[in-house]
Structures are given as structure tokens and as C-alpha cells.
């Protein structure tokens, strides 16, 4: 006996079905990669105990996502995921459908309409023009198709939206950080508008459910990494056209959307801190002489921003200037070891700190570089940007680290402008 399809309970569209197929393919592919090529828990333990592995690699290895993948592989190797492996075989689903067709069952659970609740995100401004709204979600593979009453893909809107997005974020950063140089502002903007963030926002607002395309499964899988980010840019472009080429809707929305990321930048690089640490060796109050106490940030205030400073400094300067963390000395006072570490870039000391272990001392040294020596960080960020354009590179500082700290020889390479 056939039953009537209830469209109020189940939201099914052509694009949604394609997305479900793609999601399953991605899950199958990811599961295979993790179980074949991933690390298990024993691998993680051995890596963490090795003295030959840099601390930066160990930190990334202990990321929650890596640990979750290691748990998954370990469970698979122990035979605990045999049922899951079977479920990921499409032929298993076909057999299940055949076996279930001979019997019927009732379920007390209800299938709610598929919606995405964008928690914490600002309300999405509406595009009033129906034709513009439709075009935002039309992939080039579906344009001019007889199935859809639209004859243009979102590519032109994407082009426009990319420009509008960069313009709004540029003005926002320019106003928020008046002390930042062009190189660092460019880096911050690229982090905010990276495809990862655009994709997350796109999915959070449910844009993926509205996508219309004629891509086959393989093509859609290959395009997935950029597809939803492109749709977000297309929506920005569509909103700009719908607003008569004005920004009164777009700017407040994007400002609130980017605010958490910008505030993170502000907290990692507070402008209230001393802009640079270039001690005057003729001064009676030479801060270098007090470095062991000045940089001893207690464990109670070692916040998340300090713990992640090494990663943030790496993102700002990589790949041209990779920070290194040099152990200056290890003190053993009353069986409580203390490590003194310097953050070094291009041979130049950017930060010094001490802590109860080498890892925390390195994080604090990176924090010192991002706060008290922000001008130097900006300098290398600017050099990095110029190098991409074929510009000059700074000379490597060859003065020994301890002499730099003791004598205050810091700024041998000025800003590149």
C-alpha cells in the first residue's frame, strides 16, 4: 500500500539528494584513509616519547581531531568497527533494502524538517530579488538546463562577491588595527576570508541545501573543497546587487560574522602592550637584567591564547620565517626544574620566557614575541609579503642569542620600507 509523501516533514530537493550521495562518498573515503594511512594510539605514544620529533609536530599530533582519528584506527585494528566497515559498503545497503522490503515496521520517531541552526551567527540578510536569489545557487553545470528557470550560473556573482568581501574586511581591519602594517593586515584578511571559513559559514546558513547542479558524484567530490565557499561569495555578490550596490546590509552582517576571529587577533596581539622591546643598554633600568622575572607568567594565567601563540606565530610567518625555540638554560631549584627558552626568527631573538617545562616556556616566548615585540613580528610578516612579490629578504642575524639578550642588540634589520 503506497503512502503519500509528506513534504512538510522531509525536505527533499535535487541538490539535497546529490549532497547526501556526496556525503556518503566522503565518509567512505575518509574512513578508508584513516584506517589505512592514519596513526593509531601506539603511533601517537611513540611519537610523543621520541626526542627526535620537534615540539611543534608533537603539538599538532595531539590535536583532538588527530587523537580522534587515532582512536578510530585503533578500534578498527582491534576489530571493533567491523559492522561500520560493512555499513560503508554500498552493496550492503542494497541487500538491507531487499531484506526490509518483505516486512514492514513502524517507528515512533518523527523525521523533522532538515534545518541548520546557525548558533552564534548573525541573522542572514535576505535577497529580495527572486532571480538574483536563484542565481546564487545555480552551478555552471545546471545553467541553461531545461529543468531550471535560470540561464546564468553563480560565477559572475561569485566574482563580484569576492571583491565586496575583501573590501569590507579590509576596511574593517584597517580601522580596527591602525598600528598594523600592510603585510600583517593582508595576512589577517587572508585568514578571515579563507575558503575554510567561507565554507563553514556557507554550511551553517544552509546554503548547501539550495545548491542546484548536474555534477556527477566524482565531479562534485572534486569540487567540494571550494564549492560552498564560492556560493558564500556569490551570496555576498547577490546581496550587493539586491541592495542597489550599497553596503548598508552587508557591512554590519560581515562585521559581526568576522568579529570572533578579529577579537582573537586582538587578544593575541594587544595594542595596550609595549609595542617593541628594544632595551637601552645605557639605561639604569635595563629590562634585560630582569628578564627572568619579567617573563615569568604564572601557570594560573597561562590562558588559551598563550598556549596557541606558537601556532599563531607560525601561521603569520610561515613558510619563509619558521620560528625556532632555543633552550637557553635549565635550572633545577629544589627539585623543581625551570626552563628558559628564546623564540628566534631569522637568527633574531623575538621573545624570552621561563616556565616549569620546555613546552610552556616556548609558548610564553611566542606570546612575548606577539605582544612585547609585535613590531618585529610585523617586520618579518612584511618581508614575507614582499618576498612573494620578488622583494628583498633580510640578512640573517648572526649575533649569538645570549649576546643579543645581554647587550640588547635586537634591531639589526629595520622594517623593509
pLDDT tens, position by position, 300-339: 334 545 767 888 888 888 888 989 999 988 887 667 788 9
293-407: CATH topology: Double Stranded RNA Binding Domain (3.30.160)
Is 95 considered catalytic here?
no
Residue 82 reports pLDDT greater than 80: no
* 11, 235, 248 from 242: Cα distances, Å: 27, 10, 11
CB contact at 8 A, 19 and 210: no
Give the span between the Cα atoms of 155 and 137, in whole angstroms: 10
Alpha helices in 155-248 (DSSP H): 155-176, 182-192, 195-204, 207-210, 217-242
| Active site (annotated) includes residue 112 | no
Q: pLDDT, tens digit, for every residue of 375-392?
A: 889 889 888 888 887 778
Other residues' Cβ atoms within 10 Å of the Cβ of residue 303: 11
For the chain, the domains span 9-88, 130-268, 293-407
pLDDT in tens, 126-147: 999 988 998 998 888 777 665 5
Least-confidence region, from 12-21, 249-258, 319-328: 12-21
N residues, the chain: 417
The pLDDT-based confidence of 149 (bands split at 50, 70, 90) is: low
Identify the residue with better confidence: 23 or 44: 44
> How many CA atoms, within 13 angstroms, populate the side-chain half-sphere of residue 299?
6
Looking at per-residue pLDDT, the higher value among 212 and 151 belongs to 212
Quick one: how far is CA 374 from the chain centroid?
A: 22
Rounded CA-CA distance 170/185 in Å is 8
Question: How far is Cα 205 from Cα 137, in angstroms, rounded to an integer?
Answer: 13
Confidence of residue 286 (pLDDT cuts 50, 70, 90): very low
Which residues face 324 on adjacent strands? Answer: 344
Nearest to residue 405, comparing CAs of 377, 368, 357? 368
CATH 3.90.580.10 at 130-268, yes or no: no
Q: Which of 158, 187, 230, 233 is catalytic?
A: 233
SS3 366: helix
* 34, three cell numbers: 584513516
C-alpha cell at 222: 572534486
Q: How confident is the model at residue 215 (pLDDT cuts 50, 70, 90)?
A: low
Q: Which of 143, 162, 164 is nearest to 153 (CA)?
A: 143
Over residues 168-178, the pLDDT tens digits come to 999 999 999 88
Residue 270 has pLDDT above 50, yes or no: no
Per-residue pLDDT at 248: 92
Q: Note the pLDDT tens digit of each residue in 216-238.
A: 544 555 556 678 899 999 999 99
3-state secondary structure of 98: helix
Q: How far out from the chain centre does Cα 32 lie? A: 24
User: To the nearest whole number, what is the mean pLDDT of the chain?
Assistant: 73
Residue in 162, 230, 368, 378 annotated catalytic:
162
Percentage, residues of the chain above pLDDT 90: 19
Amino acid at each position: 500500500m503506497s503512502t503519500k509523501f509528506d513534504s512538510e516533514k522531509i525536505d527533499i530537493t535535487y541538490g539535497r539528494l546529490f549532497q547526501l550521495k556526496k556525503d556518503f562518498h566522503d565518509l567512505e573515503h575518509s574512513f578508508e584513509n584513516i584506517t589505512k594511512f592514519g596513526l593509531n594510539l601506539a603511533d601517537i605514544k611513540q611519537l610523543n616519547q621520541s626526542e627526535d620529533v620537534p615540539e611543534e609536530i608533537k603539538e599538532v599530533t595531539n590535536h583532538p581531531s588527530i587523537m580522534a582519528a587515532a582512536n578510530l584506527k585503533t578500534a578498527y585494528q582491534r576489530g571493533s568497527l567491523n559492522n561500520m566497515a560493512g555499513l560503508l559498503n554500498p552493496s550492503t545497503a542494497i541487500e538491507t533494502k531487499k531484506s526490509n522490503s518483505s516486512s514492514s515496521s513502524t517507528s515512533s520517531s518523527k523525521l523533522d524538517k532538515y534545518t541548520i541552526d546557525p548558533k552564534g551567527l548573525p541573522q542572514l540578510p535576505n535577497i529580495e530579488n527572486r532571480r538574483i536569489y536563484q542565481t546564487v545557487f545555480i552551478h555552471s553545470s545546471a545553467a541553461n538546463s531545461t529543468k531550471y528557470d535560470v540561464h546564468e550560473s553563480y560565477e559572475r556573482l561569485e566574482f563580484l562577491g569576492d571583491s565586496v568581501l575583501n573590501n569590507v574586511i579590509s576596511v574593517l581591519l584597517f580601522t580596527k588595527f591602525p598600528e598594523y602594517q600592510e603585510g600583517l593586515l593582508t595576512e589577517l584578511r587572508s585568514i578571515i576570508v579563507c575558503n575554510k571559513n567561507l565554507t563553514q559559514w556557507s554550511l551553517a546558513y544552509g546554503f548547501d541545501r539550495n545548491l542546484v547542479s548536474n555534477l556527477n558524484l566524482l565531479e562534485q567530490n572534486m569540487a567540494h573543497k571550494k564549492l560552498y565557499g564560492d556560493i558564500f561569495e556569490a551570496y555576498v555578490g547577490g546581496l550587493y546587487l539586491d541592495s542597489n550596490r550599497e553596503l548598508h546590509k552587508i557591512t554590519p552582517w560581515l562585521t559581526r560574522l568576522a568579529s570572533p576571529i578579529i577579537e582573537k587577533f586582538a587578544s593575541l596581539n594587544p595594542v595596550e602592550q609595549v609595542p617593541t622591546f628594544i632595551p637601552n643598554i645605557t639605561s639604569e633600568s635595563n629590562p634585560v637584567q630582569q628578564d627572568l622575572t619579567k617573563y615569568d607568567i604564572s601557570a594560573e594565567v597561562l590562558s588559551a591564547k598563550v598556549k596557541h601563540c606558537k601556532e599563531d606565530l607560525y601561521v603569520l610567518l610561515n613558510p619563509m620565517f619558521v620560528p625556532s625555540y632555543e633552550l637557553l638554560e635549565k635550572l633545577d631549584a629544589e627539585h623543581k626544574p625551570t626552563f628558559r627558552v628564546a623564540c628566534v626568527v631569522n637568527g633574531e631573538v623575538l621573545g624570552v620566557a621561563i616556565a616549569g617545562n620546555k613546552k610552556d616556556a616556548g609558548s610564553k616566548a611566542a606570546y612575548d614575541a606577539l605582544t612585547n615585540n609585535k613590531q618585529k613580528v610585523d617586520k618579518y610578516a612584511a618581508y614575507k609579503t614582499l618576498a612573494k612579490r620578488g622583494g628583498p629578504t633580510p640578512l640573517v642575524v648572526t649575533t649569538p642569542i645570549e649576546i643579543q639578550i645581554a647587550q640588547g642588540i635586537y634591531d639589526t634589520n629595520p622594517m623593509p620600507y
